[in-house]
């Protein structure tokens, strides 16, 4: 029998572990956060809206870090049920942040907290959410950032493979084309798409370096939705990629900001790697099979 002491790694909880980013954070932890024991929490494990369940789970596990990815993330769902959106996106976040008041807490917000009139947004720019989803995320940001130990990440469109194969915009686009649908893609809606692999690496680096605060996290290039569609069509020549160009002026649904390009100089100054371009990631995927 060895007399060497057993090293107990600190526990990190990742909520929303069945989603695109949450799942990837857990899967990539062995590479980017080997000093942490990482537990992915899904709604099958615990209902985050039930405070008694959350409290019992918390005191049983005693985490030293929380990365909170869970929430109601589809804008159309939030518009249909604003009360549920507030409960899941604001009240749950506030309760978890209170439980985690003495430890690092990382909250995933959205670039949609901006109105899209300016573009190239920096962290100090004022927010102006235009729909219920964005309003709830902006409210949750204020709660989280009241604690200097805590962190808010504003991601852009995130690309990659989710467990259910329907959570990223890349997956949704491919499914539409495989089903023979024609997509209307806007020429006047701009985002900075980023692969989920870069998102998870960046977040784990922030955690390892103890860098709390507010950060934008997006790809190195901005593209319109129409340009993104063209890039994906070239990536999948085997598909019948049906698409037509359109304008936000003709869109019916929750308000969509036009230019949500993000300035990521703040987080880039902390990271050990360059945030990738979506275009370059797609090109690299020709060799690797991703996406």
DSSP, residue by residue, 106-130: EEE--GGGS-SSS-SB-TTSPP---
pLDDT recorded at residue 285:
72
pLDDT recorded at residue 284:
85
pLDDT recorded at residue 166:
73
pLDDT recorded at residue 5:
46
13 pairs with which residues across the strands? Answer: 39, 66
Angstrom distances, CA of residue 253 to CA of 42, 76, 87, 256, 257: 29, 7, 22, 8, 12
pLDDT recorded at residue 262:
98
Give the Cα separation of 92 and 106 in Å (integer): 14
Question: φ and ψ at 47, to 5 degrees?
Answer: -90, 105
Q: Which domains does the chain have, with CATH numbers?
A: 11-288 (3.40.50.720)
- All residue ranges of the chain with pLDDT < 50 are 1-5, 286-289
Helix then strand then coil, % of the chain, to nearest 5: 40, 15, 45
Q: What sign does the CA torsion over 168, 173, 179, 183 have?
A: positive
Give the Cα separation of 63 and 57 in Å (integer): 10
pLDDT recorded at residue 290:
64
pLDDT recorded at residue 289:
47
Is the N-terminal amide bond of 291 cis, ω within 30° of 0?
yes
The set of long-range contacts for 244-248, using a CB threshold of 8 Å and a minimum separation of 24, is: 244/182, 244/183, 244/184, 244/185, 245/184, 245/185, 245/186, 245/187, 246/184, 246/185, 246/186, 246/187, 247/186, 247/187, 247/188, 248/186, 248/188, 248/189
Angstrom distances, CA of residue 24 to CA of 5, 29, 75, 266, 281: 31, 8, 22, 23, 17
CB neighbourhood size of 129 (10 A)? 19
């Amino acid at each position: 029998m060895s007399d060497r002491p057993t090293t107990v790694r600190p526990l990190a909880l990742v909520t929303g572990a069945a989603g695109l980013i949450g799942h990837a954070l857990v899967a990539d932890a062995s590479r980017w956060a080997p000093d942490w024991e990482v537990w992915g929490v899904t709604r099958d494990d615990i209902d985050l809206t039930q405070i008694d369940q959350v409290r019992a789970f918390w005191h049983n596990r005693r985490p030293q870090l929380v990365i909170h990815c869970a929430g109601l993330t589809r804008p159309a769902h939030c518009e249909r049920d604003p009360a549920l959106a507030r409960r899941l996106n604001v009240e749950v976040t506030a309760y978890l942040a209170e439980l985690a008041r003495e430890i690092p807490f990382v909250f995933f917000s959205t670039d949609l907290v901006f109105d899209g009139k300016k573009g190239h947004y920096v962290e100090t720019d004022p927010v102006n959410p235009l729909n219920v989803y964005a309003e709830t995320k902006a409210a949750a940001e204020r709660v989280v950032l009241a604690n200097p130990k805590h962190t808010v990440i504003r991601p852009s469109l995130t690309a990659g493979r989710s467990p259910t194969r329907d959570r990223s915009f890349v997956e949704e686009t491919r499914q539409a084309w495989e089903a023979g649908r024609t997509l209307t893609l806007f020429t006047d809606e701009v985002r900075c798409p980023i692969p989920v692999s870069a998102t998870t690496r960046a977040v784990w680096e922030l955690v390892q370096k103890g860098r709390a605060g507010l950060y934008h996290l997006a790809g190195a290039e901005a593209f319109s939705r129409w340009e993104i569609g063209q890039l994906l069509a070239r990536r999948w020549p085997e598909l019948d990629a049906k698409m037509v160009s359109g304008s936000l002026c003709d869109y019916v649904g929750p308000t969509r900001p036009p230019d949500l390009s993000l300035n990521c100089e703040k987080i880039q100054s902390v990271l050990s790697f360059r945030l990738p371009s979506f275009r370059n990631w797609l090109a690299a995927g020709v060799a690797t099979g991703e996406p």
